[in-house]
Chains A and B, each alone.
Chain A
Amino acid sequence: MTTENKLQRHPIRGALYGLLLGLSAAYFAFFQFGLFGFDTLTGVLIKFGLIVLAGMVIGVVWALLAPPRRGRGPSEAPPPPAAA
């Protein structure tokens, strides 16, 4: 018996979770902590978008480079059965 190992990555899923994280980070940065001044509408929109984009990039990078989870089964072929 042989086993076939496959490492499955989820960049789209990472981007979507990063989008959620980026949106909330931008909200807190602008409206809760006041880390950025409201200089111009364009400036605010650009900074807000950059934070969201950074969240998505982090999500994609994490999806591609994070250490893989352990599989739910053996990753190598089980030892051959002992001879009778």
Chain B
Amino acid sequence: MARIVRTLAAAMIVLGVAALPALAQGAGDGVAVIDVGSFITSGDGFVDLNGDGVPDLGTLTEGFAGIWDDNVGARTPDEFQDLVADRISGFDTTGAASVLVGPCGGLAISYDEDGLSIDAMVDLGTDDPPLDVYTGEAAMTGGNPFKVDPGGVVAYWGFTADVPTFSTTGEISGVDYGDPAPAYHDHSWTMAVMGVSADRGGDPNQQDKNRNAGLVELGEILGDVDAGPVDLTELRADVKAKGAIIDLYAAGDPGGRRLPDDFDQATIEAEAAGAEFCFGEGWVAFVGSGPPLAATAVAAILAAAGFAGLLFNVRPAQSWRA
């Protein structure tokens, strides 16, 4: 009788462990407290369909990548995996806070696979960290990560603030850019996720662009990655990401000088050597449905076997011989 009770108790614990995550699926983030409409100045169809105060995904015309960009979307899966093969040993794992320093700002909205907004954050180009559009609190922190659907899309609108210390390399003669100089030139940028180099690029920027908008189509990118039985478009995990851009870093290098894969804020400051730079890091939460049921079932069976084995087959046994 006692064995049956213990077996039932073990089964209940295992079932509870497996079922709780499904019950813990949270609701959305409510209604936005920051109006982000002023950021979205081009593109058609950005209408708030789900009533959360953040425009849902509209239509963007195809743009142009930077000359030195590693265009992930145009790569084969093998090339993408080669790109992310670089391990970064000095990745900061301790900080739960988010950071964005330098004259960079912008808006990022994450959409689910139906194009409905699920999270948004904005940075006004100051040294303050980015803000959660829905709550007004610091975004991309360990406690309030930027939520993204791994099968969805992230849309971003970025800008550089007007500071007098930007380079004027590449200015087109006869064009009045005003004062101060407006943009990064001959720049290099890099991004890393979980200590792995995820993307990098750069551009001479002879047109002095200081605005940029685009989409990160996570569903397509992660869907192309061969991760064996794991479907990365259903990933559910918090990951740490960081990125940097340095003005004039690639000046004089027609191939586009590449930023080091292993970097932190101090590294970027040293590499910039007085030139303008932006550095940011924070937490991103992938909110997919998680691992497939089969994997959870196998783990539950392992748990039940281990638990039952410890209960019934491991305790010391007293034997005797007459």
Contacts and interface: CB of A to CB of B under 8 A. Distances in A.
Contact of B321 (A4, A25, A31): A4
Interface in A15-60: 16-25, 27-28, 30-34, 37-44, 55, 58-59
A67 B296 CA distance: 32
Given A23-B302, A70-B318, A41 B195 contact: yes
A82 interface: no
Contacts of B142: 37
Contacts of A4: 320-321
A73 interface: yes
Nearest to B302: A24
B194 A38 contact: yes
Given A18-B306, A20-B302, A20-B303, A10 B320 contact: no
Interface stretch (B60-68, B121-129, B248-256, B307-315): B307-315
| Residue from A2, A34, A71 whose CB has the most chain B CB atoms within 10 Å | A34
B248 to A, nearest CB: 30
A42 B262 CA distance: 14
A19 B306 contact: yes
Contact of A71 (B87, B91, B318): B318
Nearest to B237: A38
Given A38-B237, A59-B310, A24 B299 contact: yes
Interface size class of B (residues with CB under 8 A): 35 or more
Interface in B65-102: 87-89, 91, 93
Nearest to A59: B310
B309 A17 contact: yes
B194 A7 contact: no
B305 A20 contact: yes
B291 interface: yes
B320 A62 contact: no
Contacts of B21: 32-33
A37 B237 contact: yes
B316 A31 contact: no
| Residue from A1, A4, A18, A31 whose CB has the most chain B CB atoms within 10 Å | A31
A1 B313 CA distance: 30
Interface of A: 1-10, 13-14, 16-25, 27-28, 30-34, 37-44, 55, 58-59, 62-64, 66-71, 73-75
7 contacts: A19-B306, A23-B299, A34-B236, A66-B314, A68-B316, A68-B317, A71-B320
